[in-house]
Amino acid sequence: MAQPARIAILGSCVTRDAFEFADPSWVLSTYMARSALASFCGRPTRAELPPYTNIASAFQRRMVAGDVEKRGRRWLAKKHFDWLIYDPIDERLTLADFEDGGVATVSQEFTRLGLPADRYRQTKFPSQEHFERWTAGWQTFMELLDRLQIRDRLIVHRAEWVQRVQGSDQVTTEPEVIARSSQSFARAYARMAEDIPPERFITVSEALQVADPAHRWGVSPFHYVEGYYREFLEKLAGVTSTPPPHAELP
């Protein structure tokens, strides 16, 4: 029997949640969330930070530690995956720039450390500076994948912020917030398309780009209906029908 395909995710719940509906032909080997590319590819800070134990959840501690200490680059180098899926939804998060040149991602989980905000400078989404920092991070990310000879394993999940909630006149958030965010993500996807061929992008049908009013994480511009995730998996199967040439056996 064929081995299940090993999937690594650098992104957010929009990709991770799809694997709740996956069959045994997939195995989620690594998941790193709450790490903007500018931080993922940036320098770790040597500033003294509060202990990770300030964060109650073990998963949240792991995500914050992975981002702050740049652990993601280590698991990339180990190549314990057949396919790497990137989605940019967590790029919406603020960047923390420390005096020593280190950078971190200001997720809700990061704020639970209790570090005073005056300890770092903030670069907020969707400012021009934030986009330029993402662009620099993307370029470094491409260079890293090339150095490891794994760019051909990368798949981009073209996730979007959605406004409509299924079966309701409710909206996920203010339309102007959706518009600003969508404009920034459109610029990011256009930049990615300069480096990644179109067949390595997965875009779910517009009819399924709708928020689930009963989503377990609540209503959000990126908490989709079940049909969205199922179609994503169908398209993923098509994209991965031919293994990348550098894929290694488990």
pLDDT tens digits for range 22-52 = 999 999 999 999 999 999 999 999 999 999 9
Listed in sequence order, the residues at least 6 apart from 236 whose beta carbon sits closer than 8 Å to its beta carbon are 18, 85, 155, 202
Listed in sequence order, the residues at least 6 apart from 17 whose beta carbon sits closer than 8 Å to its beta carbon are 223, 224, 229
Tokens of 145: 């994948």
Which amino acid is located at 46 in the chain?
A: R
Each domain of the chain, given as residue ranges in start order, spans 5-239
The answer regarding whether domain 5-239 maps to CATH 3.10.290 reads no
pTM of the model: 0.94
Q: Using CA atoms, how far apart are residues 104 and 37, in angstroms rounded to an integer?
A: 10
pLDDT in tens, 103-118: 999 999 999 999 999 9
pLDDT score for 246: 52
Cα Rg of the chain (Å, integer): 18
Starting at the edge strand that comes first in sequence, how are the strands of the sheet with 83-86 ordered?
A: 26-33, 5-11, 83-86, 154-157, 201-202
Is the pLDDT score of 167 beyond 50? Answer: yes
pLDDT score for 245: 55
Rounded to 5 degrees, φ, ψ at 33 are -115, 175
